[in-house]
Amino acid sequence: MLVWKNNPVILQDSSYTWEFTQIGNYGSPLRTEEGWLVITHGVGATRRYCIGASLFDLDNPSKEIGRP
């Protein structure tokens, strides 16, 4: 197993009701002209499974540009 020894940084927290129980990504970020596109999934309190997306800055991926 791989153990990360550096200090992890939270890039995204649950903000919407559909992701309060669980939030995660669907795979590697996709590089676009506008930024890093990350497809996410979430589960809310009613156990409804949803899909979302986020866009992060190309030069500073810790900066979230937007979420639909």
Contact status, residue 19 vs residue 44, Cβ threshold 8 Å = yes
| Phi, psi of 12, deg, nearest 5 | -150, 135
Q: What is the mean pLDDT of the chain?
A: 85
Position 58 scores a pLDDT of 96
51 contact partners, CB below 8 Å, separation of at least 6: 26, 39, 40, 41
pLDDT 10s digits, 44-65: 888 888 888 999 999 998 899 9
Spans of all domains in the chain:
17-60
Residue located via tokens 């979420």 = 67
